[in-house]
Amino acid sequence: MSSDAGSAQRGAVAIRTERLCKDYVLGAGGYGYDSLRERLTQLATAPARALSSRREQRPGGEQEQLLHALVDLSVTINEGEVVGIIGSNGAGKSTLLKVLSRITEPTSGWAEIAGRVGSLLEVGTGFHPELTGRENIFLNGAILGMRQAEIRRQFDQIVAFADIERFLETPVKRYSSGMYVRLAFSVAAHLQTEVLIVDEVLAVGDAAFQRKCLGRMDEVAREGRTVLFVSHNMAIIQSLCRRGIFLQSGRLVADGPVNEVVGKYLQSLEQTMAVDLLDRTDRRGWHRIKVSGLEIAGEDGAALASGRPARFTVRLTGLQPGTRCMLTVLNNLGQPVCEFASGTTSPEDVTVPAVVSEAAPTQFICEIEELPLVPGRYRVDVLVRGTHHTEDAIASAAMFDVAHGVLAGRPVAGHGSGDVAVPHRWIVPVS
Amino acid sequence: MVGRVTAHPIIRLEPSRGWVALRLDDVWHYRELLWFLALRDIKVRYKQTVLGASWALLQPVLTTVVFTVVFGRLARIPSDGVPYAVFALAALVPWTFFATAVSTTSISLVGNTNLISKVYFPRLCVPIAAVVACVVDLLIACGVLFVAMGIYGVGGGLRMPLVIPFVALAVATALGVGLWLSAIAARYRDVRHAVPFLVQFWLFATPVAYPSSLLSDRWQSLYALNPMVGVVEGFRWSLLGSDVAIGRTALTSTASALVILVTGAFYFRRMERSFADVI
The one-letter code for the residue type at B196 is P
A117 to chain B, any CB pair closer than 8 A? The answer is yes
Beta bridge partners of A336: A330
CA A302/CA A310 separation, integer angstroms: 9
Smallest CA–CA distance, residue A209 to chain B, in Å, is 23
Residue of A nearest to B39 (CA): A139
Could you give the percent of chain A with pLDDT greater than 90? Answer: 26
pLDDT confidence tier of residue A55, bands split at 50, 70 and 90? very low
The model's confidence at residue B128, banded by pLDDT at 50, 70 and 90, is very high
Q: What is the pLDDT of residue A321?
A: 85
Residue B134 included in any domain: yes
Report residue B120's pLDDT band, with 50, 70 and 90 as the boundaries.
Answer: confident
Residue B32 CA to residue B24 CA, distance in Å, equals 14
A9 — pLDDT class (breaks 50, 70, 90)? very low
Q: What is the pLDDT at residue A359? A: 64
For position B253, what pLDDT does the model report? Answer: 95
Q: Do residues A141 and A263 share a domain?
A: yes
The reported pLDDT for the residue numbered A297 is 84
pLDDT for position B252: 94
Taking 70 as the threshold, does the pLDDT of residue A60 lie above it?
no
Q: What pLDDT does B97 receive?
A: 95
Which chain B residue is nearest to residue A38, measuring alpha carbons? B188
Q: What pLDDT is stored for residue A5 in this prediction?
A: 40
What mean pLDDT is predicted for residues A277-283? 84
Pairing of strands A390-402, A283-284: antiparallel
- A108 and A24 in contact (C-beta within 8 Å)? no
Both A295 and A407 in one domain: the answer is yes
Does B17 fall in a domain?
A: no
Does residue A423 fall inside a structural domain? no
Nearest-neighbour CA in chain B from A189: distance (Å): 15
Where are any strands of DSSP class E within A302-348? Answer: 310-316, 324-331, 336-341
Q: What is the dihedral of CA B101, B107, B110, B115, to 10 degrees?
A: -10
Of A34-48, A190-204, B201-215, B224-238, the poorest mean pLDDT is in A34-48
Asked whether residue A187 is domain-assigned, the answer is yes
Contact between residue A365 and residue A411 where contact means Cβ atoms under 8 Å apart:
no
Q: Do A356 and A252 lie in a common domain?
A: no
Asked whether the beta carbons of A108 and B15 are under 8 A apart, the reply is: yes
CA distance B237 to A410: 95
Contact A11 B1 (CB under 8 A): yes
Q: Are residues A180 and A302 in the same domain?
A: no
> What is the domain-level CATH number for residue A387?
2.70.50.60
Q: Is residue B205 part of a domain?
A: yes
A window 197-256, beta carbon within 8 A of B: none
A188 and A284 co-located in one domain: no
The pLDDT assigned to B54 comes to 82
Same domain, residue pair A300 and A281: yes
pLDDT at B174 over 80: yes
Residue spans of beta strands (DSSP E) within A51-188: 65-78, 82-86, 108-114, 117-120
What is the model's pLDDT at position A45? Answer: 66
DSSP-derived pairing of the beta strands A226-230 and A82-86: parallel
b/e sequence A359-369, b meaning 16+ C-beta within 10 Å = eebbbbebebe
Q: Are A378 and A400 in contact (CB under 8 A)?
A: yes
Say which range, A75-84, A278-287, A373-382, has the weakest mean pLDDT. A278-287
Same domain, A221 and A304: no
Return phi, psi of residue A291, to 5°: -85, 120
Q: Could you tell me if residue A249 is inside a domain?
A: yes
Residue A84, domain member (yes or no) = yes
Q: Fill in the DSSP letter of residue A63.
A: P
ipTM of the prediction: 0.80
Predicted confidence at residue B263, as pLDDT, reads 96
Contact A104/B at CB under 8 A:
yes
Residue A65 has pLDDT above 60, yes or no: yes
**Rounded CA separation A352/B236 (Å):** 81
**pLDDT attached to residue A53:** 47
Backbone angles phi, psi at A194, to 5 degrees: -75, -30
Query: Mutation test of the interface with chain A: which of B23, B27, B39, B40, choosing the one with the most A Cβ atoms within 10 A?
Result: B40
Residues of chain B neighbouring A102 (CB-CB closer than 8 A): 11, 13, 120
Q: Judged by CB atoms within 8 Å, which residues 259-318 of A form the interface with B?
A: none
pLDDT of residue A48: 63
Q: Taking CB atoms and an 8 Å limit, are A131 and B6 in contact across chains?
A: no
- In this structure, the answer to whether residues A227 and A284 fall within a common structural domain is no
Residues β-bridged to residue A339: A328
Listed in sequence order, the residues at least 6 apart from B53 whose beta carbon sits closer than 8 Å to its beta carbon are B46, B140
CB-CB contact of A119 with A230 (8 Å): no
Q: In this predicted structure, which of A23-32, A35-44, A146-155 has the lowest mean pLDDT?
A: A23-32
CATH of residue A180's domain is 3.40.50.300
Q: Is the pLDDT of residue B257 over 90?
A: yes
Would the pLDDT of B73 be above 80?
yes
pLDDT for A130 equals 82
Most confident of A49-53, B109-113, B171-175: B171-175
A259 and A152: one domain? yes
Q: Is the pLDDT of residue B96 over 60?
A: yes
In a domain, B3, yes or no: no
Q: How confident is the model at residue A7 (pLDDT cuts 50, 70, 90)?
A: very low
Residue A112 belongs to a domain: no
- Please give the tally of structural domains in chain B: 1
What range defines the domain where residue A281 resides? 277-411
Examine the domain organization and report whether A141 and A266 are in the same domain: yes
With CB atoms and an 8 Å threshold, state whether B188 touches A36. Answer: yes
Q: Do B13 and A128 lie within an 8 Å CB cutoff?
A: no
Interface test with A, best of B120, B123, B188, B279 (most A CBs within 10 A): B120
Q: Is the pLDDT of residue A283 over 70?
A: yes
Residue B276 lies in a domain: no
pLDDT of residue A376: 86
The values of phi and psi at residue A430, to 5°, are -120, 145
What is the distance between the terminal CA atoms of chain B, rounded to a whole angstrom?
Answer: 43
Indicate yes or no: CB of A105 within 8 angstroms of CB of B187: no
- Helix B163-187 and helix B247-278, axial crossing angle in degrees, nearest 10: 30
Find the residue in A nearest to B13 (Cα): A111
Q: Which residues does chain B have within 8 Å of residue A39's beta carbon, measured at their own beta carbons?
A: 188
Is pLDDT at A414 greater than 90 in this prediction? no
Q: How far is B8 from chain A (nearest CA, A)?
A: 5
What element of type H or E holds B164? helix B163-187
Mean pLDDT of A209-222: 81
Amino acid identity, position A346: S
Q: At what angle do helices B125-152 and B163-187 cross, to 10 degrees?
A: 140
Alpha-carbon gap, residue B270 to B187, rounded angstroms: 13
pLDDT at A357: 63
- Number of residues that make up chain A: 431
Exposure pattern of B166-189 as b/e (b: 16+ CB <10 Å)? bbebbbbbbbbbbbbbbbbbbbbb
CB contact under 8 A, A105 and B120: no
On whether the CB atoms of residues A289 and A317 are closer than 8 A, the answer is yes
Is position A337 within any domain? yes
Question: Which residue in chain B is spatially nearest to A11 when comparing CA positions?
Answer: B2
- Phi–psi pair at A172, nearest 5 degrees: -70, -15
CB contact set of A142 (below 8 Å; sequence gap of 6+): A148, A151, B32, B33, B35, B36
Q: Examine the domain organization and report whether A194 and A85 are in the same domain.
A: yes
Average pLDDT over chain A, rounded to whole?
Answer: 82
Contact state of A144 with B118 under an 8 Å Cβ cutoff: no
Q: Which of residues 175-194 of A touch B (CB under 8 A)?
A: 194
Q: With an 8 Å Cβ cutoff, is A11 touching chain B?
A: yes
Q: How far apart are the first and last CA of chain A?
A: 61
Domain count, chain A: 2
Option in B10, B32, B44 nearest A113 (CB)? B10
Measured between alpha carbons, how far is residue B96 from residues A263, B56, B124 in Å?
63, 9, 23
Strands A108-114 and B10-13: antiparallel
User: What strand order describes the sheet that includes A251-257?
Assistant: A117-120, A195-199, A226-230, A82-86, A243-248, A251-257
Q: What is the dihedral of CA B116, B117, B120, B125, to 10 degrees?
A: 0
Q: Which of A111-125, A239-253, B140-154, B219-233 has the lowest mean pLDDT?
A: A111-125
Closest-CA residue of A relative to B194 is: A36
Q: Name the residue among B231, B240, B239 with its Cα closest to residue B207.
A: B231
Is the per-residue pLDDT at A1 higher than 60? no
Is the pLDDT reported for residue A264 higher than 60?
yes
B18 within domain boundaries: no
**Three-class SS state of A44:** helix
Residues on chain B touching A143 (C-beta within 8 angstroms) = 33, 36, 115, 119, 121
Q: SS3 of A255, please?
A: strand
Full domain range(s) for residue B264: 24-269
pLDDT at A285 over 90: no
A111 with B10: Cβ contact below 8 A: no
Name residues whose C-beta falls within 8 Å of residue A140's C-beta, 6 or more positions apart in sequence: A125, A126, A127, A184, A187, A188
CB of A126 within 8 Å of any CB in chain B? Answer: yes
Does the pLDDT at position A28 exceed 50?
Answer: no
- What is the predicted pLDDT for the residue at A360? 66
Question: Which residue type occupies B57?
Answer: L
The yes-or-no verdict on residue A223 having pLDDT over 70 is yes
Q: Which of A20-24, A427-431, B112-116, B121-125 has the lowest mean pLDDT?
A: B112-116
Most confident among A49-53, A176-180, A297-301, B32-36 (mean pLDDT): B32-36
Size of interface A-B (CB pairs under 8 A): 134
Nearest beta carbon to residue B118 from set A31, A35, A121: A121
Answer yes or no: is pLDDT of B6 > 60: no
What pLDDT, on a 0 to 100 scale, did the predictor assign at position A257? 95
**B36 to chain A: closest CA residue:** A139
Contact A79 B16 (CB under 8 A): no
Phi/psi-derived region of residue A376, left when phi > 0, alpha when psi is between -120 and 50, beta in every other case: left
Q: Is B15 inside a domain boundary?
A: no
Contact list in B for residue A122 (CB cut-off 8 A) is: 114, 118
CA–CA distances in Å: residue B202 to residues A119, A322, B90, B133, B214 = 42, 53, 17, 22, 17
Partner B, chain A 57-86, Cβ-Cβ below 8 Å:
78-79
A45 in a structural domain: no
Tell me: pLDDT of A57 over 50.
no
User: CA–CA separation, B105 vs A95, rounded Å?
Assistant: 28
Contact A114, B3 (CB under 8 A): no
> Which of these, B170, B48, B178, lies nearest to B102 by C-alpha position?
B178
Q: Is the pLDDT of residue A261 over 90?
A: yes
Give the full edge-to-edge strand order of the sheet including A324-331. A283-284, A390-402, A376-385, A324-331, A336-341
